[in-house]
C-alpha cells in the first residue's frame, strides 16, 4: 500500500527518467560537445592553441579584468548589503531595486551605455580623447562593462542572509565595547563568509565569461583588447574550430569549478 | 526619517553604495535614456519602426516568450523530481540545473551550434526528420530556452519544498485523487513562483546575445535578434539609433514584466 | 546610579517612550513590568545606547549618556534571544569583550583565559568553553550570555526578558540563581519582563509601564496594597474587576457583602478583587461553588455570585464540592471611581 501523497511507482520512474533525460540532452550535452569538439584531434592541437600568444594574451586580459571588477563589486556589494540589511533609511527600497537593475538589462545595452558616454561621439569621449585617455576599445571600457554586468552578484547573495541574521549580534558586540571595524571583522564577516565567497565566485565566473557587453566596448584588437570569450568568437569566425573549442573548453572548466565550489559552499554554510 | 542606530557605518556604506551605483549604473543608463532624442521624436519613431528593426524586435520578444513558455513545463518537471524523489544521480541533476547560469554565453552559443548544426549530434537526426534548428528562428528559441531554464527551476524549487506533503495529505483525506490533489492544491500554490520563473527566464532571454548569435545565422528580417542590430548600428557610429533601439527594448521588456507582475499578483490573491 | 528623566522616543508617529522618569539606587534589583508594546524594551535599549531618545536624559553614575556610544557605556546587556555569536565557541563569546579592548587595556592571553574560566564557573558551566552555542540548551545559552555580559565587569546589568525563552521549570531555577548572583556581585540590575510573578518575586522594586510611561514604581508589597490606578490594579495579582457603588466609606456589591474602603469618593466604582481578598466558607449563602480543584499550592476555588464567576480562598479545613452553597466575605478591595 503506498502513501496517499506518492505517485504510482511507474509514474515516478517515468518522471525521473524524463527529468534526467531533459537535463542530459538539454543541459549536459552542450558541455560534453565543447570538450568533444576541442579534443576531436587529440591533445596536440588543444595544447597548441592554448599556448598561442594571442590566446595567452586573452587569458591575461581576462584575469586582469576580473581582478579589477570583482574587488570593486565586492566592496560596493558589501557596503550596500550593510546599509540595506542593518539599517532603516529613506530610499531603501529604491536602492534595492536599482542594485538589481543591471540584471534586467541586455548585455549589449550594458556595453552600449558606456559607448554612449565614453565613445568617439559620446558625452565624455572627445574631451577624454584630447587628454589622451581612451576608455572605449581599451581596458577601462572592458572593465567598466564587466563591473556593470556583474554588479548585483555580491549584494544580492548577502542582503537576504544579513537581513535574516538581524542586528542583535552586532548590538551585543557594541554593548561589549566593540567599535565599527571590530564589530564587522569579528562578528559580521564570520557570519557571512560562505555567502560572501559564493557571491564572489559567481561574480568572478560571470566577469571572466562575459561576452556581449565586453564585445561592444572592446574593439576586438587581437592580443590587446580580446578577452577569452571574444577570442573564442574570433577563432570561430576564422573557422579555427578546434582552437575555438579549446579556449571555450577552458572557460567551461571555469564554470564547472565554480559550480562545484558553490555546491561545496552551500553545504558548508 | 532616518533613525539613529547603535551600529556604525551607515553614512560610509551609503556613500560607497551610491557612488558605486551612480558611476557604474545610473549615469551610463541616463545616457541611454537621453541620447536617442538627438534624432527628434519623429526620428526615434522612424528608427525603431524600420521593417528590419520591427522584425528583429519581433524575433527577440517572440522567441524569448516561446522559450520561457517551453521552460515552464520542463522547469516544473525538473523541480518536482529534484524536490520530491530520491534516486541515484539526483545530486548531479541538481548541480546540472545551474550549468546555463555558469557557462559563459559564448561557450554555450558555440556548443549549441555544434550540437544542432545539420551535421551535429542532435542536428543530424533532427534534419533526418525534416527539422532544421541551427541558423533559423527555431535555433534562437532553443538557445533562449537553454539560458532560461534554471530560472524556472530555481524559483519553483523552494516553494515546492516549503509546501511539503501536508496540503496534499489533507486533500487525500478529503477524498481527492492524486491527480485532483495535484491539479487543485499543488499547482495553484506553485502558480506565482512559476510566473516569476517564466518572467525571469523571459527577461534574461530578451536581451541574450552571446548564446544566440552563433546559432541564429543572423539573416536580416529572418533570424536577426534586436541586440545584434544594436551592435550593427554602433559599428556604423549611429549612436542615437543604437540608443533608441536599446531604449525601446528596455521599455518593451519592462512592459512585459509589468504584465507578468500583474498576473503573479492575481494568482497570489487566488491562492491566499 | 541609573537615572532617566523625561525620556521621549517616537517610532514613525507612535510614541514608544512618552516621558519616562525613573531612578535606580545602587545595588537595586528592579523589574520593568508591562504588556508587550508598553515601551519597556525600548527603555532598556535606550539605557544601553541601542536606541536614541528624541528628548530627555539618561544618567549612569551621574554622567549624562547622551554623547556616549553603546560601546563606551560599560553596561552589561543580556539580549532576549541571547544574541550569542554563533560562529564562536562559548569561550570566545565570553572573551570577546576583553579581546577587543585597545592594546593598552587588554588583559594578557592567560589572564583572559583565567577570567573566562572563572566566569564559566560562576555561571555553572565549567568545562563547556569549547562548545558552540548551538550545542547548548536554552538555559545554558542564557547563562553564557550572562557570563559574556559580566566579562567586561559592568556595574549595571540590563536584561531583556531574561527568562522569556525558557520552559517553566528552568525559568524558576534560574530566577533565584540570578538574584543570588546580583547580590553577590553588588550589581545594579534592571530587567524587563511581562510576567508579574517573576517581577513581584524577584525585584526590590517594580516599575510598571503602560503606553510608554512608568505608571507606578514601588516595592512589590506597596504595588499590591496600593496600586496607583485601575490599570495597575487590574494587571497585578489576578485581580478581577467587579462593579460596585461607594457610599459612606463602603463599597457595595451585588450579591457580596460590603467592604470598608477609605478615601474613595462616592458613586459608581470598580473594585478589583483577588482570590486572596475573597474568603469562602461552607454554609447557606448567596454563592455557589462553581468549580474546585486541587493543584500543588492548595485548592483553587471558583464561586458563582450574582452571575459572576470569581476565584476565592476557601476557609481552612473545608473541602468544597461542586454545586455546594457557600458564603463569601470580602476581606479587602482596591476601588477606583468608574
pLDDT tens string A204-221 = 999 999 999 999 998 777
Task: Using CA coordinates, name the residue in chain B closest to C52.
Answer: B4
The residue with greater pLDDT, B143 or A122, is: B143
Task: Using CA coordinates, name the residue in chain C closest to A182.
Answer: C100
pLDDT score at B1? 41
pLDDT score at B4? 74
Nearest one of B48, B97, B100 to B252, comparing CA atoms:
B48
Secondary structure E strands in B17-62:
none
pLDDT in tens, B202-250: 999 999 999 999 988 888 888 899 999 999 998 888 889 999 999 999 9
pLDDT in tens, C230-242: 888 888 878 889 9
pLDDT score at A1? 58
Task: Using CA coordinates, name the residue in chain B closest to C45.
Answer: B6
CB contact under 8 A, B207 and A75: no
C83 touches chain B (CB under 8 A): no
pLDDT in tens, B26-84: 999 999 999 889 888 999 999 999 999 999 999 999 999 999 999 999 999 999 999 98
CB contact under 8 A, C83 and A182: no
The number of C-beta contacts closer than 8 angstroms across A and C is 66
Q: Is the pLDDT of residue C315 over 80?
A: yes
CB contact under 8 A, A106 and B81: no
Lowest mean pLDDT among A50-64, C74-88, C230-244: C230-244
CB contact under 8 A, B6 and C50: yes
pLDDT score at C235? 83
C-alpha cell at B108: 554555450
Q: How far is C87 from chain B (nearest CA, A)?
A: 20
Chains in contact with B, where contact means 3 or more Cβ–Cβ distances below 8 Å, are: A, C
* C residues 57-76 lying closer than 8 A (beta carbon) to B: 69-70
Task: Using CA coordinates, name the residue in chain C closest to B1.
Answer: C12
Please tell me which of the candidates A169, A175, A190 has its beta carbon nearest to residue C77.
A175
CB contact under 8 A, C52 and B1: no
Please tell me which of the candidates A168, A175, A186 has its beta carbon nearest to residue C70.
A175
What CA–CA distance (Å, rounded) separates B129 from B134? Answer: 14
pLDDT score at A61? 93
What CA–CA distance (Å, rounded) separates A253 from B102? Answer: 10
Please, which pLDDT band fits residue B134 given cuts at 50, 70 and 90?
confident
Contact call for residues B13 and A80 (beta carbons, < 8 A): yes
Nearest one of C250, C237, C247 to C313, comparing CA atoms:
C237
In the DSSP assignment, the letter for residue B100 is H
C1 touches chain A (CB under 8 A): no
CB contact under 8 A, B3 and C69: no
A9 touches chain B (CB under 8 A): no
Q: How far is B17 from chain C (nearest CA, A)?
A: 25
- Kindly tell me the sign of the dihedral angle through the C-alpha atoms of A53, A56, A61, A64: negative
Q: Is the pLDDT of residue A144 over 70?
A: yes
Q: How far is A157 from chain C (nearest CA, A)?
A: 19
C338 touches chain B (CB under 8 A): no
B3 touches chain C (CB under 8 A): yes
Chains in contact with C, where contact means 3 or more Cβ–Cβ distances below 8 Å, are: A, B
pLDDT score at A117? 92
Task: Using CA coordinates, name the residue in chain C closest to A176.
Answer: C97
Task: Give the side-chain half-sphere CA count within 13 A for C200.
Answer: 13
C-alpha cell at C195: 510576567
What CA–CA distance (Å, rounded) separates B186 from C163? Answer: 41
Q: Is the pLDDT of residue C62 over 70?
A: yes
pLDDT in tens, C254-302: 888 888 888 788 889 999 998 888 999 888 888 899 988 887 777 888 9
pLDDT in tens, A174-214: 999 998 899 999 999 999 999 999 999 999 999 999 999 99
pLDDT score at C141? 93
What CA–CA distance (Å, rounded) separates A126 from B85? Answer: 61
Dihedral angle over CA of B140, B142, B147, B150, nearest 10? 150
Q: Is the pLDDT of residue B2 over 60?
A: no
Q: Which of C13, C14, C41, C52 to mutate to test the interface with B (most CBs of B within 10 A)?
A: C52
Q: Is the pLDDT of residue B272 over 70?
A: no
How many residues in total does chain A contain? 269
CB contact under 8 A, B6 and C12: no
pLDDT in tens, B148-179: 999 999 999 999 988 877 778 888 788 788 88
Mean pLDDT of B128-143: 90
Q: Percent of chain C having pLDDT more than 70?
A: 100
CB contact under 8 A, C85 and A172: yes
pLDDT in tens, C160-208: 998 887 888 888 888 888 999 999 999 999 999 998 889 998 999 999 9
The number of C-beta contacts closer than 8 angstroms across A and B is 288
pLDDT score at B3? 62
SS3 of residue C205 by DSSP:
strand
Say what the ipTM of the complex is. 0.89
Q: Percent of chain C having pLDDT more than 90?
A: 51
pTM, two decimal places: 0.87
Q: How far is A55 from chain B (nearest CA, A)?
A: 15
Amino acid at each position: 500500500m503506498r502513501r496517499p501523497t506518492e505517485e504510482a511507482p511507474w509514474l515516478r520512474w517515468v518522471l525521473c527518467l524524463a527529468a534526467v533525460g531533459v537535463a542530459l540532452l538539454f543541459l549536459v550535452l552542450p558541455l560534453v560537445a565543447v570538450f568533444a569538439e576541442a579534443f576531436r584531434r587529440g591533445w596536440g592541437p588543444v595544447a597548441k592553441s592554448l599556448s598561442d600568444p594571442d590566446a595567452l594574451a586573452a587569458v591575461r586580459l581576462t584575469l586582469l579584468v576580473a581582478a579589477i571588477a570583482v574587488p570593486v563589486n565586492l566592496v560596493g556589494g558589501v557596503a550596500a548589503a550593510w546599509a540595506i540589511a542593518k539599517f532603516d533609511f529613506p530610499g531603501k527600497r529604491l536602492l534595492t531595486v536599482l542594485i538589481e537593475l543591471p540584471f534586467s538589462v541586455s548585455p549589449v545595452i550594458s556595453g552600449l551605455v558606456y559607448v554612449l558616454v565614453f565613445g568617439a561621439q559620446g558625452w565624455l569621449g572627445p574631451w577624454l580623447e584630447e587628454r589622451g585617455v581612451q576608455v572605449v576599445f581599451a581596458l577601462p571600457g572592458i572593465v567598466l562593462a564587466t563591473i556593470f554586468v556583474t554588479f548585483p552578484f555580491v549584494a544580492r547573495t548577502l542582503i537576504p542572509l544579513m537581513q535574516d541574521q538581524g542586528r542583535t549580534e552586532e548590538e551585543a558586540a557594541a554593548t561589549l565595547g566593540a567599535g565599527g571595524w571590530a564589530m564587522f571583522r569579528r562578528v559580521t564577516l564570520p557570519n557571512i563568509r560562505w555567502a560572501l565567497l559564493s557571491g564572489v565566485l559567481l561574480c568572478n565566473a560571470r566577469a571572466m565569461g562575459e561576452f556581449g557587453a565586453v564585445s561592444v566596448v572592446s574593439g576586438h584588437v587581437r592580443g590587446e583588447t580580446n578577452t577569452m570569450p571574444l577570442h573564442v568568437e574570433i577563432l570561430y569566425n576564422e573557422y579555427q574550430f578546434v582552437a575555438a573549442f579549446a579556449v571555450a573548453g577552458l572557460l567551461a572548466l571555469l564554470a564547472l569549478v565554480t559550480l562545484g565550489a558553490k555546491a561545496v559552499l552551500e553545504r558548508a554554510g | 526619517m532616518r533613525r539613529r542606530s547603535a551600529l556604525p557605518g551607515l553614512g560610509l556604506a551609503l556613500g560607497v553604495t551610491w557612488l558605486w551605483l551612480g558611476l557604474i549604473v545610473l549615469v551610463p543608463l541616463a545616457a541611454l535614456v537621453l541620447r536617442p532624442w538627438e534624432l527628434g521624436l519623429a526620428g526615434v519613431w522612424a528608427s525603431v519602426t524600420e521593417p528590419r528593426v520591427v522584425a528583429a524586435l519581433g524575433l527577440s520578444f517572440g522567441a524569448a516568450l516561446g522559450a520561457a513558455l517551453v521552460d515552464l513545463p520542463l522547469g516544473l518537471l525538473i523541480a518536482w523530481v529534484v524536490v520530491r524523489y530520491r534516486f541515484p544521480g539526483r545530486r548531479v541533476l541538481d548541480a546540472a540545473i545551474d550549468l546555463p547560469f555558469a557557462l559563459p554565453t559564448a561557450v554555450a552559443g558555440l556548443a549549441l551550434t555544434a550540437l544542432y548544426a545539420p551535421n551535429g549530434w542532435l542536428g543530424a537526426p533532427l534534419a533526418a526528420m525534416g527539422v532544421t534548428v541551427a541558423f533559423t528562428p527555431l535555433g534562437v528559441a532553443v538557445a533562449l530556452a537553454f539560458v532560461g531554464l534554471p530560472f524556472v527551476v530555481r524559483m519553483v524549487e523552494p516553494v515546492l519544498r516549503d509546501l511539503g506533503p501536508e496540503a496534499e495529505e489533507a486533500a487525500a483525506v478529503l477524498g481527492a485523487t492524486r491527480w485532483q490533489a495535484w491539479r487543485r492544491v499543488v499547482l495553484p500554490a506553485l502558480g506565482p513562483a512559476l510566473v516569476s520563473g517564466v518572467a525571469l527566464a523571459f527577461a534574461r532571454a530578451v536581451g541574450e546575445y552571446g548564446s544566440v548569435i552563433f546559432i541564429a545565422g543572423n539573416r536580416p528580417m529572418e533570424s536577426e535578434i534586436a541586440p545584434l542590430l544594436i551592435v550593427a548600428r554602433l559599428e556604423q557610429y549611429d549612436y542615437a539609433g543604437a540608443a533608441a533601439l536599446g531604449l525601446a527594448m528596455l521599455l518593451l521588456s519592462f512592459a512585459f514584466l509589468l504584465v507578468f507582475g500583474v498576473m503573479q499578483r492575481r494568482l497570489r490573491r487566488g491562492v491566499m | 546610579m541609573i537615572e532617566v528623566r523625561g525620556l521621549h522616543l517616537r517610532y514613525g508617529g507612535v510614541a514608544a517612550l512618552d516621558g519616562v522618569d525613573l531612578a535606580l539606587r545602587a545595588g537595586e534589583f528592579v523589574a520593568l513590568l508591562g504588556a508587550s508594546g508598553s515601551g519597556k524594551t525600548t527603555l532598556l535599549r535606550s539605557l544601553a545606547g541601542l536606541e536614541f531618545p528624541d528628548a530627555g536624559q539618561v544618567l549612569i553614575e551621574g554622567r549624562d549618556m547622551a554623547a556616549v556610544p553603546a560601546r563606551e557605556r560599560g553596561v552589561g546587556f543580556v539580549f532576549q534571544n541571547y544574541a550569542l555569536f554563533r560562529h564562536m565557541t562559548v569561550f570566545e563569546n565570553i572573551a570577546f569583550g576583553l579581546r577587543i579592548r585597545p592594546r593598552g587595556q587588554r588583559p594578557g592571553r592567560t589572564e583572559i583565559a583565567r577570567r573566562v574560566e572563572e566566569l564559566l564557573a560562576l555561571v555553572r558551566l565549567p568545562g563547556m568553553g569549547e562548545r558552540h552555542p548551538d550545542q547548548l540548551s536554552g538555559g545554558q545559552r542564557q547563562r553564557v550570555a550572562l557570563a559574556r555580559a559580566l566579562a567586561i565587569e559592568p556595574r549595571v546589568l540590563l536584561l531583556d526578558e531574561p527568562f522569556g525563552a525558557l520552559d517553566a521549570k528552568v525559568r524558576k531555577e534560574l530566577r533565584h540563581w540570578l538574584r543570588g548572583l546580583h547580590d553577590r556581585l553588588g550589581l545594579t540590575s534592571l530587567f524587563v519582563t511581562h510576567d508579574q510573578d517573576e517581577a513581584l518575586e524577584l525585584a526590590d522594586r517594580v516599575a510598571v509601564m503602560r503606553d510608554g510611561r512608568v505608571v507606578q514604581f514601588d516595592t512589590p508589597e506597596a504595588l499590591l496594597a496600593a496600586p496607583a490606578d485601575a490599570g495597575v490594579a487590574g494587571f497585578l495579582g489576578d485581580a478581577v474587576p467587579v462593579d460596585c457603588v461607594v457610599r459612606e466609606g463602603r463599597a457595595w456589591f451585588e450579591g457580596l457583602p460590603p467592604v470598608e474602603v477609605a478615601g474613595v469618593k462616592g458613586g459608581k466604582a470598580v473594585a478589583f478583587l483577588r482570590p486572596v481578598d475573597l474568603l469562602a466558607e461552607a454554609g447557606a449563602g448567596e454563592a455557589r461553588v462553581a468549580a474546585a480543584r486541587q493543584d500543588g499550592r492548595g485548592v483553587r476555588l471558583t464561586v458563582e455570585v450574582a452571575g459572576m464567576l470569581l476565584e476565592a480562598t476557601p476557609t481552612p479545613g473545608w473541602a468544597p464540592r461542586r454545586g455546594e452553597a457557600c458564603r463569601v466575605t470580602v476581606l479587602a478591595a482596591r476601588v477606583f471611581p468608574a
